[in-house]
Amino acid sequence: MERFLAQLCGTSAARPLPLWEGNTTGHCFTQLVLSALPHALLAVLSACHLGTPRTPDYNPPCSPGWSLRLIASCLLSIFPLLDLLPVALPPGADPGPIWLEVLAGCVTAVAWITHSLALWVLAHSPHSRSRGPLALALSALLPTPSLVLTLLWHCQQDMFLSPLLPGPVARLCLLILQLAAVFAYGLGWAVPGGPGEPWTWTQELFLSSEVQESEVAEDGESWLSRFSYAWLTPLLTRGVHGELRQPHDICRLPHRLHPAYLARFFQAHWQEGAQLWRALYGAFGWWYLALGLLKLVGTMLAFSGPLLLSLLVGFLEEGHEPLSHGLLYALGLASGAVLSAVLQNQYGYEVRKVTLQARGAVLNTMYRKVLQLGPSRPPTGEVLNLLGTDSERLLNFASSFHEAWGLPLQLAITLYLLYQQVGLAFVAGLVLAPLLVPVNKVIATRIMASNQEMLQYKDARVKLMTELLSGIRVIKFFGWEQALGTRVEACRAQELGRLRVIKYLDAACVYLWAALPVIISIAIFTTYVLLGHQLTATKVFTALALVRMLILPLNNFPWVINSLLEAKVSLNRIQRFLDVPNHNPQAYYSPDPPSEPSTVLELHEALFSWDPVGTSQETFISHLEVKKGMLVGIVGKVGCGKSSLLAAVTGELHRLHGQVGVWGLSKGFGLATQEPWIQFATIRDNILFGKTFDAQLYGEVLEACALNDDLSILPAGDQTEVGEKGVTLSGGQRARIALARAVYQEKAFYFLDDPLAAVDADVADHLLHRCILGVLGHTTRLLCTHRIEYLERADMVLLMEAGRLVRAGPPSEILPLVQAVSKAWAQDGHEPDAAKAQSVQTPEKTEEGLEVEQSISDRLLQEESKKEGAVAFHVYRAYWRAVGQGLALAILFSLLLMQATRNAADWWLSHWISQLKAARNSSQEVSTSASPGSTGLFSAQLLLFSPGSLYTPVFPLPKAAPNGSSDIRFYLTVYATIAGVNSVCTLLRAVLFAAGTLQAAATLHHRLLQRVLMAPVTFFDSTPTGRVLNRFSSDVACADDSLPFLLNILLASSAGLLGLLAVLGSGLPWLLLLLPPLGIIYYCVQCRYRASSRELRRLGSLTLSPLYSHLADTLSGLPVIRAARATHRFEEENQRLLELNQRCQFASYATMQWLDIRLQLMGAVVVGAIAGIALVQHQQGLANPGLVGLSLSYALSMTGLLSGLVSSFTQTETMLVSVERLEEYSCDLPQEPQGQPLKGISWLTQGSVEFQDVVLVYRPGLPNALDGVSFRVQPGEKLGIVGRTGSGKSSLFLVLFRLLEPSAGRVLLDGMDTSQLALAELRSQLAVIPQEPFLFSGTVRENLDPRGLHEDGALWQALEQCHLNELIVSMGECWALTRRAGKEQGTAICSEDVSLAGGLDRELGEGGRSLSLGQRQLLCLARALLTDAKILCIDEATASVDQKTDQLLQQTICKRFANKTVLTIAHRLNTILNSDRILVLQAGRVVELDSPVALCSQPHSLFQQLLQSSRQGVQSSGWH
């Protein structure tokens, strides 16, 4: 090196690079250091901007400043080349060595050429609006001092004295021109940029790269920008300024990560029925495997550090090698660290990108599968778990696979180095090390099995929570919050039981990690001494460090395998989901349309079932033809198969055999289901359903579906947002909006499943004449209904019975066969309560849900709240309290004790070695000298590999005795004792930590569940289910698993750093001087990172909720989506939501790598700096090789620990966002006022109800929903409640049950103010028959009696009164047969008792889907019959049952509640004509209250007008 420099510079080998010559700097130093290096930096920074994206479709003219800089830069790239001509041409200017001038000139020319290209690119990018990046301009001015010094050097050479030579004159002129060009460049930079917003200094940071919404992250960036993540600068700046508030604030995804691109790309490799892993491998496998080469090189480079460190220490120690060798060792050490950091970082980043690609492909494929699901569908909760949990576990494979071969490679290299140190003695330790393999195999197997069971319990819990949230209104009416909450807690207890096994097995692994190195070390050292060798510092600490390296792969490897096994489990679960049979219209329908052109529907010998094997009730149609334009009515008893027939035609059943022919299949159907499906959107968006707005058609649809009056009273008209599943609307409104959506689609074929059931007579008449017979008059319509009086105008009526089409013909033939009602129903008062409509009730329900939430905003759906800034202290405090104060303190104490004993063991080894050295009177340094001979090469490995194991003796030590066997026994005994204490402390800490995190997991979920269950209904009306479920699934899973894992690492890193600093401060205090500047740098970097990281984590959780909601929404509305042929639009919406979530995930990954590369490079810079100082001291004769080696080792270990600390702290903080979100619900959710329980007092004995001046207002500025309502109902009285739309009928029930609190006035029950009662006590004394049947996953018994208060006899009696006993018995027989099929002979006869019990224990499926809607309503009615309440409230109890069953039920209600107070909201007035009194409401006020006879006798009474309009509606449609 010295000779090369001397030849290049023309100097002596003794001073190859003189700093000073005469009165100025040395010319060689000027050219190489002050000119070549700044120009090299300019070239690198300029190259970084060569890939800056150009502004799309925008090519502005350059401003004067940019033009001047471009011209100056081009000239400066030409001048150095011209400057070479005088050097080469005779007579030469003799400026110095020619090769020095050529080298400097070429570097300068390349730098300015690169800079010119960079300026041109920047001038056509968003930077053109400003001066461009400040760092780039400063780097262009850095070479200026070298030009000035070169000018001075020329002057000192006396080259301008006569005779003047052309060479020197030419060079002087070029030099002056270069200075002028640099001045012009600076002037051009000083001129402001083009028009536009001025940039702030933060946007002109080093390597800044403006990212706008129109630009894509990373794409178009240069290689240096990619390696340094400079393109993240604007994002991080926004994070520091608190401007990351929504997903659109984040840079867009690169093209190859965009869900739309991934969907197209992956579909080329995916075929239905294929193996998912094969498709993933085909799409992403080759690139992923290629990344393994990157990991291999990075792993090998990591082992170069100890070798170079050893050589450097050897150079300092021996002192006879040339300086160039030391420089090479130091540069190699720093370069190796930098290169290893860059490669490992890029490997991690690229693997994360592949993971995101696979995630986008898997989630998109799963959603596409959801859109194609056939009738056999998994529960919503299970699909949500596949989306949230299993997809993440599957993608853990990406990070684990390369570790599966990388760890054994590290193990092999470490074993070789250990053999080099202690020879065959390492076998003694190696005998113990393989014990880890079977132990960890057993642990991994147990963990995998427990994981599978835990996932099943988690599925059950999330599924139950989904059902609970969907039926929260009914649950609150019945006061079942605690009963169903207990069921959720039972699922959670089973889940925590499995989690407990996992956590304690984890604790065993943590113990093995920490304790086994010490045990193996004792075995190795004992064997080594017994073999007759002498222990030295190099041997002891190098072996100890290598043992720690040995344990890491041995311990990590089983967990890598475990992660792969978990991925396999999740892959199998996802694969099973993807293998569920698809909805296949091509196979389901006949390929040929019906034979006759006029026939649009033809079924022949068609047999359908809800399951593929036909075990459920089958639907058989021997022959059916429907002509174009016909109105076909479908009638029959409850559960006879009316809805199944419509589902069969729309393709939602399994066709077992037969033919189904439909004309115009590709155009889709108009479908209005029996349970209306409403999206969480505005009413207009629900009706348009993605179709273009047509004002004329829209107005016609609103009129035909009788929605104008409803919209006129809503706060925002058709722009009013409705709750999830339309929960803020009444049943009548939901039915009419669903009908309007179908009508607006303008299809030729309509399937209408009982849309008239939930509306009163005049609205039903309006729908029939204006919609079904009006707007849809030219279409083909299949109409299911129990209100057979409206089928007189039908072209054909189908009579269904037990799943068979038994009769088809004109209404005059079929309708008399159905038990119908006389035309004189109004006079005899016996018409059933079958179709009491919800329409009249609409506004109250609407106001109840909508307007309460709109007191904050005009929008019902509020954006999900997102905390900003650092995680608040109260979140840490909440987790501390969840763990338990005593347990948390015990964990910290055991952690400190563990670290203290570990340090004590290391100190004792140092003491032992020092005693041996003292006994031999050695002159070597006690702890840092290198071993002589062949081991010298490895002497410094202890310095790199052992972050906390090489400590100098910090106390004065006594003189040692000779190394006899008694001394060995003494030292080994003390060392083993300390190691044993450390082992016990380690085990204690691991067990206590597992117990603490389990306690926290249980506490956080319990608090969340209790708070959510106690929230008012207005919260659920305005909050999507997916948003709440996200807390119960993803956030709870994070608190269960991810947070404890990272917190464990954080605590271990903190304790390790404390121990390291304690020994550093006492042993080598001068090294602590590095801590303040290092700490400041680390603090700045981690602050910048944390500000963005936590917001990205929050946004990631925020964007996950809509994905959940959209998936759940799609599953519930699948028949409607497919019928309307809207699957493509829903898939695009899913891609949009996925893109927002992927955007957050990608940015989060990228910022993590941004932090990692900076922390690693800072460590490399610190090591390089210490090595450089060591070389300077060596030249001055001041270097101490031992101290230098120790300094380097501690610099490496300290930066590694600090890196781990920052990383684990920031990741822990991002995981604490989940705790923050749980705490947000656990602390901030509004709660229902509970009141005080009455102890030992039977307060409701009579059943009187009194409203006193009750006022209910939903928000200020709106009219009162109830305006001074006062009335009294006597005990046992039957009160009918009627009124037009918006009168306030449903509000009475809401106030009575205290689902809403009145603004003024009070409600008295038997003279007791309800506001003073406990909610549970109040609701337990009231019975309600709600309009919405709510069933949950569970048995018939659990659905009838969730609290388990009644005997089987009472349950059967209630079922018999509701005419369900035969159905339940038949279900029991099926259950008994199923049981019998799996048993041995001897139990062949199934007793009646078994069938009865089996019927009550038969599972009903999710939402009770094994029953028809009418049967579900009857089961809900049976619940009310079981109650012993004095007051019964009836609200649309039997809308979906046939009229014969309805009459019997009315008789049952009259008989069962003869002595009870009954309040009935009437939708068809005949149902209340037998009431004792009628309460008529108008605009929230009581306008009439009298007996039906008295009100009918008043010609101008409002009740008389309502009655008259109802009669006219039925008579105009009635059949004669």
Each residue's pLDDT tens digit, 1256-1315: 887 666 678 888 899 999 998 889 888 776 677 878 888 898 888 888 899 998 888 888
Instruction: Over range 210-222, report the average pLDDT.
Output: 57
Confidence of residue 1380 (pLDDT cuts 50, 70, 90): very low
User: Is the confidence at residue 1210, as pLDDT, over 50?
Assistant: yes
Alpha-carbon torsion (815, 818, 819, 821), positive or negative: negative
Lowest mean pLDDT of 410-419, 1022-1031, 1063-1072, name the range.
1063-1072
Phi, psi angle pair for 1388, to nearest 5°: -70, -25
Looking at residue 13, its pLDDT comes to 61
- Taking the mean position of all CA atoms in its chain, how far away is CA 981? 43
pLDDT tens digit sequence for 32-86: 777 888 888 888 878 777 765 544 444 556 678 888 888 888 888 888 888 777 6
The amino acid at 917: K
Instruction: Over range 612-616, report the average pLDDT.
Output: 69
Q: Which two tokens stand for residue 248?
A: 């659109």
The amino acid at 1349: L
Q: Which two tokens stand for residue 1486?
A: 């009581």
Looking at residue 889, its pLDDT comes to 94
Say how far apart CA 362 and CA 767 lie, in whole Å: 45
Looking at residue 1385, its pLDDT comes to 40
Contacts with 535 (C-beta within 8 Å, 6 or more apart), sequence order: 525, 528, 529, 912, 913, 916
pLDDT tens digit sequence for 1011-1031: 999 888 878 877 878 788 888
User: Is the confidence at residue 1220, as pLDDT, over 80?
Assistant: yes
Q: Which two tokens stand for residue 788?
A: 């057979």
Say how far apart CA 320 and CA 1178 lie, in whole Å: 11
Tell which residue, 214, 206, 254, has the closest CA to residue 233: 206
Do residues 62 and 193 lie in contact, with contact meaning Cβ atoms separated by under 8 Å? no
Most confident of the following: 44-58, 88-102, 558-572, 994-1008: 994-1008
Determine the 3-state secondary structure of 1373 from DSSP. Answer: helix
Confidence of residue 172 (pLDDT cuts 50, 70, 90): confident
Instruction: Over range 479-507, report the average pLDDT.
Output: 89
Looking at residue 836, its pLDDT comes to 32
Lowest mean pLDDT of 54-68, 586-600, 723-737, 929-943, name the range.
929-943
Cα-based torsion angle of the residue sequence 1250, 1254, 1258, 1259 in order, rounded to the nearest 10 degrees: -160
Say how far apart CA 1221 and CA 848 lie, in whole Å: 27
Confidence of residue 815 (pLDDT cuts 50, 70, 90): confident
- Residue with structure tokens 């690609």? 357
Which tops the pLDDT comparison, 8 or 89?
8
Q: Which residues of 1283-1305 are buried (b: 16+ CB within 10 A; e: fewer)?
A: bbbbbbbbbbbbbbbbbbebeeb
What does the angle CA 968 – CA 970 – CA 972 come to, to the nearest 5 degrees?
65
Most confident of the following: 212-216, 477-481, 1001-1005, 1513-1517: 1001-1005
Instruction: Over range 1203-1225, report the average pLDDT.
Output: 82
Do residues 1474 and 1449 lie in contact, with contact meaning Cβ atoms separated by under 8 Å? no
For the chain, the helix, strand and coil percentages under 3-state DSSP, each to the nearest 5: 65, 10, 25
Tell which residue, 451, 659, 690, 424, has the closest CA to residue 570: 451
Do residues 488 and 1052 lie in contact, with contact meaning Cβ atoms separated by under 8 Å? no
Instruction: Over range 88-105, report the average pLDDT.
Output: 65
Determine the 3-state secondary structure of 1236 from DSSP. Answer: strand
Please give the mean pLDDT across all residues of the chain. 77
Do residues 1278 and 1464 lie in contact, with contact meaning Cβ atoms separated by under 8 Å? yes
User: Is the confidence at residue 510, as pLDDT, over 80?
Assistant: no
Do residues 1473 and 1510 lie in contact, with contact meaning Cβ atoms separated by under 8 Å? no
Exposed, middle or buried, 409 (CB in 10 Å: 0-12/13-18/19+)?
Answer: middle
- Taking the mean position of all CA atoms in its chain, how far away is CA 1403? 32
Helix axes 64-88, 166-190, angle to 10 degrees: 160
Looking at residue 1007, its pLDDT comes to 92
User: Is the confidence at residue 1341, as pLDDT, over 80?
Assistant: yes
Looking at residue 1394, its pLDDT comes to 41
Say how far apart CA 433 and CA 439 lie, in whole Å: 11
CA distances from 6 to 28, 96, 624 (A): 10, 12, 104
Say how far apart CA 1269 and CA 1258 lie, in whole Å: 16
Which tops the pLDDT comparison, 170 or 569?
569
Q: Provide the β-strand partners of residue 1279.
A: 1463, 1477
Confidence of residue 1370 (pLDDT cuts 50, 70, 90): confident
User: Is the confidence at residue 11, as pLDDT, over 80?
Assistant: no
Say how far apart CA 50 and CA 991 lie, in whole Å: 55
pLDDT tens digit sequence for 987-1016: 898 899 999 999 999 999 999 999 999 888
Do residues 299 and 410 lie in contact, with contact meaning Cβ atoms separated by under 8 Å? yes
Do residues 870 and 1094 lie in contact, with contact meaning Cβ atoms separated by under 8 Å? yes
